[in-house]
Amino acid sequence: MTEDKEEQENELLALTSIYDDSVISVAQDAEGSGGQFLACLHLPENFRVAVLKDPKNSTCVNEIPAKDFCEVSYLPPITLNFQLPAGYPSTSPPQFTLSCKWLNRKQLSRLCEKLDEIWIENEGCVIVFMWSSFLQEESFDFLGLQNPLVITSAHISKKESDVDHRAIQDIGSFDRLLPAIRDYDKNCKQQEFDKSLFTCKVCFCEKSGSQCIIFLDCSHVYCKDCMRDYFTVQIQEGNVKALLCPDDKCESQAHPCQVKDLVTNELFTKYDKLLLQTSLDTMVDVMYCPRPSCQYPVLMEKDGNMGSCPACHYVFCVLCKLCYHGLSPCKIKAEGLKNLRDEYLKADSATKQYLERRYGKQAIQLAVEESYSNEWLAEYSKSCPGCGAHIQKIDGCNKMTCMKCRSYFCWICNQELSRNNPYKHYNDPNSSCQNRLFEGIDPNDDEFDEDWFD
């Protein structure tokens, strides 16, 4: 038993030495050691993927319109969650599950069988590294995948019943698959950009992508030091519309979030105010300055909640009429906005005109929308037990992943789930959520594909 424990510790130490923490995470709990491995497949160049639901004609690549394909460099990983029992590796294999967004359960079942075969061939030896290498390097060819890849909801026949219980389809609705693939590809490309080297066209120094910014419209890259100096000078001179790409004849504008990341808080406040004032000059919606001694007509930002009086320079929130507080919630956000909404909706024509003159039509509309949003969140969303972020369950299984802190939790009981084996919660006979992973999914819903979960 001592030798098994030592071999387990050495194996996990070796894995964490080979892969960084974005690929593997290990943990120790009451049941022993375990972890999670994200197997990112190596795709061919110019890899294209199409996600088709119930194709009317053939799935032959030549018969699929080019617009249905998107080119990606990365696909969401195959997730191996494993638990090392006390008798591993001398007598027992690791307990595991395989989950993936774009592989169906039949394909995942084949991979589970292959991992079992690898254990049988190497019984008594540490096996997690062999499993992870196979999933990362060989699973693409093992499953017979090709470029371009066509994924359809008909990949699993209705007669298929031989799916492995360890194979988990980790996306609830087939309609969510393509957006998930695109989002993952975008995030991976950003990480790759941060690790790459670029030559700044201003100072001609070579720096890593993490030290550079890329103008989104033209893809020109410059180092942050040069752009910080450039943005600072322009903002100090009040030229907030002149934060353009330095390349000759290029008119690409820097995004406000890029400006915020580079300049001081004081400069960004000035930039934000000047940019807003410039925008207000082009808008027609009017409300009056909340200061009783001023009441000067103020042009409002069309989609914003900040007003700046050009007469008395009072910068205020158009919803609560207090000093502008940025992204912080209004002090009267919950009750005050609801009262304003109710007062306006119940008012007669004359009272409505008075309220519109006092607050502005845009402010009234924002108050109504904000109040309904708060009521909707209270009724249809739940808070992540890890960070408290509001999360809505649109479709899919009851194993939820918080996009803010990446923790797993159960939608039914709101319990935080193990990262090593989040699906154990739904198989535990002592759990009130046993066999309730897919509870609440309507099989008659158009977005529910029965074949996709079989």
Structure-model confidence comparison of residues 40 and 441, the more confident one: 40
Extract the tokens encoding 162.
């031989």
Task: Count up the domains in the chain and report the number.
Answer: 3
Least confident segment among 208-217, 302-311, 425-434: 302-311
pLDDT of res. 158? 43
Question: Closest Cα partner for 115 from 101, 100, 134?
Answer: 134
Structure-model confidence comparison of residues 147 and 326, the more confident one: 147
Of the residues 381, 414, 435, the one at which a domain ends: 381
Structure-model confidence comparison of residues 127 and 295, the more confident one: 127
For residues 43 and 151, membership in a common domain is answered with: yes
For residues 91 and 194, membership in a common domain is answered with: no
The model's pLDDT over 27-57, given as tens digits with 9 standing for 90+, comes to 877 677 899 999 999 888 899 998 887 655 5
Q: Which one of the listed residues 397, 402, 410, 433 is annotated catalytic?
A: 397
Which CATH number is 237's domain given?
Answer: 3.30.40.10
For residues 135 and 272, membership in a common domain is answered with: no
Give the Cα separation of 396 and 376 in Å (integer).
20
Of the residues 332, 356, 381, the one at which a domain ends: 381
120-129, 248-257, 328-337: range with highest mean pLDDT: 120-129
pLDDT of res. 133? 94
Decide if pLDDT at 159 tops 50: no
Is 253 within a domain?
yes
pLDDT of res. 113? 94
The model's pLDDT over 312-357, given as tens digits with 9 standing for 90+, comes to 999 988 777 788 877 665 555 555 667 777 788 888 888 887 676 6
Annotated active-site residue 330? The verdict is no
pLDDT of res. 136? 92
pLDDT of res. 118? 95
pLDDT of res. 282? 52
119-123, 244-248, 285-289: range with highest mean pLDDT: 119-123
Is 252 within a domain?
yes
Give the Cα separation of 300 and 317 in Å (integer).
10
pLDDT of res. 450? 47
Give residue 398's Cα distance to chain centre. 18
Give the Cα separation of 437 and 417 in Å (integer).
13
For residues 161 and 215, membership in a common domain is answered with: no
Pairing outcome for strands 95-100 and 167-169:
parallel
Which CATH number is 130's domain given?
Answer: 3.10.110.10
Kindly list the distances between the CA atom of residue 233 and the CA atoms of 4, 230, 428, in Å, as whole numbers in the listed order.
Answer: 64, 6, 62
Which helix or strand (DSSP H or E) is residue 49 part of?
A: strand 48-52
Residue 363: pLDDT band (50, 70, 90) is low
Decide if pLDDT at 375 tops 60: yes
Pairing outcome for strands 149-152 and 48-52:
parallel
pLDDT of res. 122? 93
Is 198 within a domain?
yes
For residues 229 and 211, membership in a common domain is answered with: yes
The whole-model pTM stands at 0.55
Is 333 within a domain?
yes
Extract the tokens encoding 215.
């103008």
pLDDT of res. 359? 62
Q: Residues 195-204: what's their mean pLDDT?
A: 91
Give the Cα separation of 102 and 40 in Å (integer).
12
Decide if pLDDT at 25 tops 60: yes
pLDDT of res. 73? 92
pLDDT of res. 306? 83
pLDDT of res. 280? 52
Give the Cα separation of 339 and 248 in Å (integer).
54
**Helix runs in 244-325, H state only:** 256-262, 265-280
Kindly list the distances between the CA atom of residue 313 and the CA atoms of 53, 323, 336, in Å, as whole numbers in the listed order.
Answer: 56, 11, 25
Q: From start to end of 271-348, where are the E strands?
A: 286-288, 297-299, 306-308, 315-317
- Cβ contacts of 39 within 8 Å, gap of 6 or more: 77, 78, 79, 80, 132, 135, 136, 139
Phi and psi at residue 270, to the nearest 5°: -65, -45
Is 417 within a domain?
no
For residues 274 and 312, membership in a common domain is answered with: no
Decide if pLDDT at 283 tops 60: no
pLDDT of res. 3? 87
Is 106 within a domain?
yes
Residue with tokens 């000078």: 233
Domain that holds residue 239: 189-279
